[in-house]
Amino acid sequence: MAIIDDFVKRQKEGATFVITAQMLRMDPEQFDPLAQHWLDEGGPGFNVVGVPHRIVVDGEFLISRVTVIKTRAAPPET
């Protein structure tokens, strides 16, 4: 996802920031599985910290926002 990659690159290592469904131009239904993956595996250059913010859509709790911390950038390949 180019949008998330560009946003993460602008953050300093160790920075804590928020990623929302709206920021990525996604519905909560689209964002929830992506955020679940980030919770389990980590994201591209960041890890989820804290408890994700959830909203109710049609009686189902979906993640709409996560707080993350930027991890160290991967060293350049040689």
Give the Cα-Cα-Cα angle 31, 46, 23 (nearest 5 degrees).
Answer: 35
Residue 78's pLDDT band, with cuts at 50, 70 and 90, is: low
In DSSP terms, which residues pair with 55 in a beta bridge? 62
Residue with the two structure tokens 């928020």: 18
Sequence ranges of the domains in the chain: 13-70
Token representation of residue 39 = 């919770």
Q: Kindly report, residue by residue over 13-71, the tens digit of the pLDDT.
A: 999 999 999 999 999 999 999 999 999 999 999 999 999 999 999 999 999 999 999 99
Residue with the two structure tokens 């996802």: 1
**Separation between Cα atoms, residue 43 and residue 13, nearest integer Å:** 14
